[in-house]
């Protein structure tokens, strides 16, 4: 091994590989830690890059730009993993980022138009300007037995009026109708209209409405066992 000589205050060029504590495999090979008081830069002919595993302290700065498809984090809370849910990287109020799950009412859309299909798994809730729930769209389903059946629907303390599109299905038989309901907290009244049957004998015998201790109820009487699927929209 030859002697490497440097000239203080001058630009020094080394045409070979340099090893510190080990025989060099690259232009610079170091066995041990590297301490730098300034910036650390990497320049490649094709691209500027760092490769390998980072085992030091958390990298911090004004921003981190990532070009790729994956961001890996080994500190995702265990309850996220146990739930089997997807996570997203969320900016916090103090300017940091954290892994989180999407919670109810957490994501708001500023755009007035949605292009394409909108898939909703759950209820659709519309709020008035003062924050009060203006309307709620829900789907209810229940297996009915021949005779009278009670189907609980909307919270009566939140909504005064509701409209339902009801489909009864039993085997190849189908009956559909609409119901409009209102109540004053203790007494409910409604009207049933637009009854349509896909067969000669209707599955629907009668529909009444009532309010119990908590819900607006549909009292559905059917001629034979069937399943009721109810699409309801309740208003304040």
State residue 175's pLDDT score. Answer: 97
Count of CB atoms situated within 10 Å of the CB of 230 = 19
What average pLDDT does the structure give for the chain?
A: 81
Instruction: Give the C-alpha separation, 120 to 17, whole Å.
Output: 61
State residue 172's pLDDT score. Answer: 94
pLDDT band at 9 (very low <50, low <70, confident <90, very high): confident
State residue 55's pLDDT score. Answer: 63
pLDDT band at 217 (very low <50, low <70, confident <90, very high): very high
pTM: 0.57
Would you say residue 145 has pLDDT above 90?
yes
pLDDT band at 19 (very low <50, low <70, confident <90, very high): confident
DSSP letter string, 154-213? EETTT-SEEEEEEEEEETTEEEEEEEEEEE-SS-EEEEEEEEEESSSS-SEEEEEEEE-S
What is the chain's length? 236
Would you say residue 96 has pLDDT above 70?
yes
**Domain boundaries defined on the chain:** 124-235
Q: What average pLDDT does the segment 159-180 reach?
A: 96
Nearest-CA neighbor of 139 among 127, 126, 122, 152?
Answer: 122
Q: What tens digit of pLDDT does each residue of 20-50 get? A: 888 888 888 888 888 877 776 666 555 555 6
The 10 Å CB-count burial string (b at 16+, else e) for 35-46 is eeeeeeeeeeee
Residues contacting residue 169 through CB under 8 Å, at least 6 positions apart: 226, 227, 229
Q: What average pLDDT does the segment 119-136 reach?
A: 82
Look at 33-47, 86-100, 121-135, 209-223 and tell me which has the smallest mean pLDDT: 33-47
pLDDT band at 154 (very low <50, low <70, confident <90, very high): very high
Architecture of domain 124-235: Sandwich (2.60)
State residue 163's pLDDT score. Answer: 97
Residue carrying the six token digits 């034979």: 224
Would you say residue 129 has pLDDT above 80?
no
State residue 79's pLDDT score. Answer: 55
Instruction: Give the C-alpha separation, 9 to 184, whole Å.
Output: 91
Residues 181, 161 contacting (CB under 8 angstroms): yes
Q: What tens digit of pLDDT does each residue of 53-75 get? A: 666 666 666 555 666 556 666 55
């Amino acid at each position: 091994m030859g002697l490497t000589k440097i000239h203080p205050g001058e630009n020094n060029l080394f045409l070979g590989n340099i090893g510190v504590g080990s025989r060099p495999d690259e232009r610079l090979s170091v066995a041990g830690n590297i301490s730098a008081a300034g910036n650390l830069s990497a320049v490649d002919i094709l691209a500027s890059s760092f490769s390998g595993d980072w085992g030091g302290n958390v990298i911090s700065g004004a921003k981190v730009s990532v070009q790729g498809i994956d961001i890996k984090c080994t500190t995702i809370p265990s309850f996220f993993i146990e739930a089997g849910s997807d996570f997203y990287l969320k900016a916090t109020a103090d300017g940091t980022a954290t892994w989180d799950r999407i919670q109810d009412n957490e994501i708001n859309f500023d755009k007035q138009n949605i292009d394409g299909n909108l898939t909703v798994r759950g209820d659709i809730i519309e709020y008035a300007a003062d924050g009060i729930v203006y309307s709620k769209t829900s789907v209810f389903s229940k297996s009915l037995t021949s005779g009278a059946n009670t189907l609980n629907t909307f919270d009566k303390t939140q909504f005064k009026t509701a409209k339902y599109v009801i489909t009864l299905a039993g085997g190849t038989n189908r009956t559909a109708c609409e119901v409009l309901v209102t109540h004053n907290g203790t007494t409910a009244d409604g009207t049933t209209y637009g009854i349509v049957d896909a067969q000669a004998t209707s599955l629907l015998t009668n529909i009444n409405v009532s309010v119990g201790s908590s819900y607006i109820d549909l009292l559905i009487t059917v001629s034979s066992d069937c399943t009721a699927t109810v699409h309801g929209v309740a208003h304040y």
